[in-house]
Chains A and B, each alone.
Chain A
Amino acid sequence: MNALVWRLHRNQAYIAGAALVALGALLLITGVTMTREYHAFLASCAAARSCGHAGQLFAGDGAVTSLVDATMAVPLLFGLFWGAPLLAREFEDGTHNLAWTQGVTRIRWLNHTVLWPLLAAAGWGAAMAALVSWWRHPENAVGAPVRLATFTFDIQGIAPVAYAVFAVALGIAAGALFRRVLPAMAATFTVFAGLRFLIAEYARPHYLTPVSRSYPPFSDNAAPHGSLVLSNATLGPRGQDYTAGLGFQQVPAACRGNATGQLNSCLASHGFHTQILYQPASRFWAFQGIEAGTFVVLAAALVAVAYRMVLARDA
């Protein structure tokens, strides 16, 4: 069985392997340079006591940074070019009739056909995520860009492994459902992109209750370095949103005579405050775990659906 799977899909494996080697070479070369720059900068800024400007350190590495961000699309490519055609091509060409009348049972054929691409996707995703995480290590250390933000969160840690497995499982299930390559690819693209966007945009920021901090109104206080800020609003005593500013009529009468300097403290004593909601940087791995867990569970459900459709339906 393994010989069949390898013979049918080895070209895809070669292409993916070559792409991984190329990406690895590029990131290793640029990554080593970045690490060296970073250590040199730390040494010099420690001497000059001016480490606050570290955020601008890697701003010049545009092309490579774009390439690294683009690795976000790799799991989708797995789904489109490994997952979707895996079963759909067999059904489209009718070769399932050939495979299913050899001496191996259908479930055994399916086990091998499904398991290897899923493992390959997980392995490839892990290698890529490890490379990117290592490459971004200096950037993560200076805290810019924020590691919990979309894009940076999505390409490092363990989430890319789960995305890759999910994308392939989605493609396999779509192939088992539609039995045609193009519809399976279209469904994989739509569902993967849609679900990833919805989760990143609406679910992820609320995986854990955000930390809330209150400061005097209109003050410059910010969330700790590296946090993902969800909201930063100036609120009135009854929770009214005054982020855009207060009109004269809205300033409590007692504060109207105050000079500008004392106005803010007067407002603060009347219940006005700036509230910041944020997810601290320390939650990165907790969020990675929740995100990866979600997609692995979804992948398992899709594989179960694919099994059901292949084993229960007629050829």
Chain B
Amino acid sequence: MSGQNAPAIQTTRLGKRYGSVWALQDCSVSVPRGHVSALVGPNGAGKTTLLKILAGLSAPSTGEAAVLGRVPGQTGDFLDSIGYLAQDVPLYKRLSAEDHLRLGAHLNRRWDASAARGRLAALRIPADRPVATLSGGQRAQVGLSLALAKRPHVLLLDEPVAALDPLARREFLASLTEAAADGDLSVIVSSHLLHDLERVCDYLILLAASRTQLCGGIDDVLAAHRVMVGPRRDIADAGRGFTVIKSTQTTRQTRLLVRLDRAVLDPSWAVTEVGLEDIVLAYMGERSTLAASPLTVIGPAR
């Protein structure tokens, strides 16, 4: 699987258990190279666990993971190929950005310090002050610069904008888009809010209740989901050719958010397109029923 054709990330029935609690279960995803993927799910859905496994920091309890065809682990080739920015952007507090850049040069075979210095200078981030004195947004940018300086092929970012104000968020995501446009880089960026990522991502991995609910190109996801509104009826009688993700009943009508298997022909339904945020919220809200249903993976565009 190794080499140019291997997907950026691929997991097969991946699971991670802490004691008796499954933080991630039965997670099968495959993301081709060259995408910026949003890893979305509510808090505790297993996003951090998945990213830590992909970064080689955590060993899976069950299943398999591969990044660019390599099993995440303690080899130089694997470590060279990834960039990872952990939640809350851990940095050595008393060291400056410049110190971090110098250390990175010692710790990595590939290291593009001049690009990182250029980025920090362009953002007017003081490189000589201890990072503890920088703002949250500036620290996130330092963290991103360090991860990018490795010239990784897969960049894993764990909730990088969660703690940032709206302006810093926008700047961070702009930097990310710019970096992703540049060369052979696949990005997986997690957030508990899709809203943050919708504009910069073209691929979606949705985790809820520690399982994969969706994995696919955002266009494919949009094409496969519809809202259907019709006279009130029992959901069991709603018809065939789709899976109900979320249903709302009023006294007079039934409203369904569905994933289509084929076109809906029943004329008693009014079928309309639906936005990505509504789709994601529907999956998050209905997690109890979905956890029991078969794995819902949408493949890449055919």
Listed in ascending order, the chain A residues whose CB lies under 8 Å from chain B are 1-4, 7-8, 93-107, 314-315
User: How many angstroms from the CA of A258 to the CA of B174 in the assembled complex?
Assistant: 109
Indicate whether B260 reaches chain A with its CB closer than 8 angstroms.
no
Which residues of A have CB within 8 Å of B103? 3-4, 7
Q: List 29 A-B contacts (CB under 8 A).
A: A2-B106, A3-B106, A8-B95, A94-B87, A95-B91, A95-B92, A97-B57, A98-B86, A98-B91, A100-B56, A101-B57, A101-B79, A101-B82, A101-B83, A102-B79, A102-B104, A102-B107, A102-B108, A103-B80, A103-B108, A103-B110, A104-B76, A104-B107, A105-B74, A105-B76, A314-B52, A315-B52, A315-B57, A315-B58
A97, A100, A103, A105: the one contacting B109 at CB < 8 Å is: A103
Q: Which of A2, A106, A107, A314 has the most CB of B within 10 A?
A: A314
The 5 closest A-B pairs by CB, nearest first: A94-B90, A315-B57, A97-B86, A103-B108, A102-B107
Residue B202 interfacial (CB < 8 Å):
no
* B74:A1 contact, CB within 8 angstroms: no
- Beta-carbon contact of B56 and A101 below 8 Å: yes
Cβ contacts under 8 Å, A105 to chain B: 74-76, 79
A97 and B79 in contact, given A3-B106, A7-B95, A314-B59 (Cβ under 8 angstroms)? no
Asked if B47 is an interface residue, CB under 8 A from chain A, the answer is no
**B97-111 residues at the A interface, CB under 8 angstroms:** 99, 102-104, 106-110
Known: A4-B106, A95-B90. A103 touches B84 (CB 8 A): no
Cα-based distance from A94 to B227 in the complex (angstroms): 43
Task: Give the distance to chain B from A6, nearest Cβ to Cβ, in Å.
Answer: 10
B57 touches A314 (CB 8 A): yes
A95-B92, A105-B79 given; name 12 further pairs at CB < 8 Å.
A1-B107, A93-B90, A98-B90, A98-B91, A99-B107, A101-B55, A101-B84, A103-B107, A103-B108, A105-B76, A106-B74, A315-B57
Query: Distance (Å) between the CB of B217 and the closest chain A CB?
Result: 28
Chain B residues, CB < 8 A from A95: 90-92
Using A93-B93, A97-B90 as known contacts, say yes or no to A3 and B102 having CB atoms under 8 A apart: yes
Residues of A within 8 A of B88 (CB): 94
Cα A100 to Cα B84 with chains together (Å): 10
Check A314–B84 contact: CB distance below 8 A: no
Cβ-closest chain A residue relative to B146? A98
By a CB distance below 8 angstroms, the chain B residues around A99 are: 107
CA of A282 to CA of B114 in the docked complex: distance in angstroms? 65
Cβ contacts under 8 Å, A104 to chain B: 76, 79, 107
Contact B58 A7 (CB under 8 A): no
Docked Cα-Cα span, A1 to B103, in Å, equals: 8
Q: Are A7 and B150 in contact (CB under 8 A)?
A: no
Contacts of A8 in B (CB 8 A): 92, 95
Which of B88, B92, B150 has the most chain A CB atoms closer than 10 A to its own CB? Answer: B92
Given the complex of chains A and B, what is the CA–CA distance between A212 and B104 in angstroms?
A: 65
A97 CA to B79 CA, complexed, in Å: 12
Given the complex, which residues of A lie within 8 Å of B55, measured CB to CB?
97, 101
Chain B residue at minimal CB-CB distance from A109: B107
Contact pick for A103, options B52, B76, B90, CB 8 Å: B76
- Is there an interface contact between A7 and B90, defined as CB atoms closer than 8 Å? no
Q: Give the residues in chain B near A3, CB-CB below 8 Å.
A: 102-103, 106
